[in-house]
Chain A
């Protein structure tokens, strides 16, 4: 597609449930990034993929968070046993090639996750 696509746009769920967030990067982009934006805060890095591999997952806050990418394209971020502190906007970005620092990251519109 023309831009990074994320779904769902909004997700409301009960505490303790599992959620899956999806990111479809720009066609041809090999690098994909997940960030979290809590209310009134900047973006916090979670994980990035180069192809299907995740060289840096240092930002995942706990073992309840996991992400995968298949076919070098779509990625899913899964949060198990959600907690209220998981409420945030989850943003995905992609770039042409992660190892080229000159390549800008292009962001999607994010998924707003609300845990009741």
Chain B
């Protein structure tokens, strides 16, 4: 069974600094997708970034980038130039490819605080 582990329940970063959130996963599949979602207090899950497992290049979206280590089954999120609005719960998620099943499997989340 696929599992997603986020070992950091809480993290803190100073405004304008860089922070890295960790995520590891377990799967025997070769075709899959990985995601980072942000959940502010409003509860809405917002897609931050996604990575296709077949792509070796790490995904980047503005201040957000990932370090995807397929062999190690690691998928960390780096937030550069942290802003107060980045404070939220961050969830790492996995989805098998090929359309066999389309559910997202989530980690338990990392609560990120941004200090002014």
Contacts and interface: CB of A to CB of B under 8 A. Distances in A.
Nearest to A46: B103
A108 B44 contact: yes
A105 B98 contact: no
Contacts of B96: 101
Nearest to A40: B108
Given A42-B107, A48-B102, A59-B103, A104 B50 contact: yes
Interface string B92-116: 0101111101111111110000000
Interface in A24-73: 31, 33, 35, 40-45, 48, 55-56, 59
Interface residues of B, number: 29
Interface stretch (A12-20, A78-86, A92-100): A92-100
A107 B107 contact: no
B42 A109 contact: yes
A91 B99 CA distance: 21
A44 B3 CA distance: 12
A41 B89 CA distance: 11
Size class of A's contact patch?
A: 20 to 34
Contact of B33 (A40, A55, A102, A110): A102
Interface of B: 4, 6, 33, 35, 37, 42-47, 50, 52, 91, 93, 95-99, 101-109
Given A33-B102, A56-B101, A108-B44, 4 more contacts: A43-B104, A56-B103, A99-B99, A104-B50
